[in-house]
Amino acid sequence: MPIFSMWTRTAAQQTMSLTNVEREKITDSVLKIQSVRASLENMDETKIPEYEEIAGCLTTVDKNLRLALRLTPKESGEQ
């Protein structure tokens, strides 16, 4: 079973909350992942060993981090 599917079900079953700092860190990470993905798009795939695996991992990380932001509310008391 793909990790993304497992995480989706697990996250939906748990009630987690993120602090503003945690949300900012995850958002910053999403932006960094997007930057890496964009940089790799214009490169010769044959020059990067395991290119497809790397691209797949970056896609999975991006989806999981975005999912974490969508599924988890802010901690109570934070705006």
Is residue 60 one of the residues assigned to a domain? yes
User: What pLDDT digit, counting tens, does each position of 9-65 carry?
Assistant: 565 555 578 999 999 999 999 999 999 999 999 899 999 999 999 999 999 999 999
User: What pLDDT digit, counting tens, does each position of 54-75 carry?
Assistant: 999 999 999 999 999 999 887 7
Q: List Cα–Cα distances, 61 to 7, 57, 66, 67, in angstroms.
A: 11, 6, 9, 10
Structural domain harbouring 65: 19-39+49-73
Q: Domain count for the chain, please give it.
A: 1
Is residue 26 one of the residues assigned to a domain? yes
Is residue 3 one of the residues assigned to a domain? no
Is residue 57 one of the residues assigned to a domain? yes
Give the pTM.
Answer: 0.71
Is residue 12 one of the residues assigned to a domain? no
Is residue 24 one of the residues assigned to a domain? yes
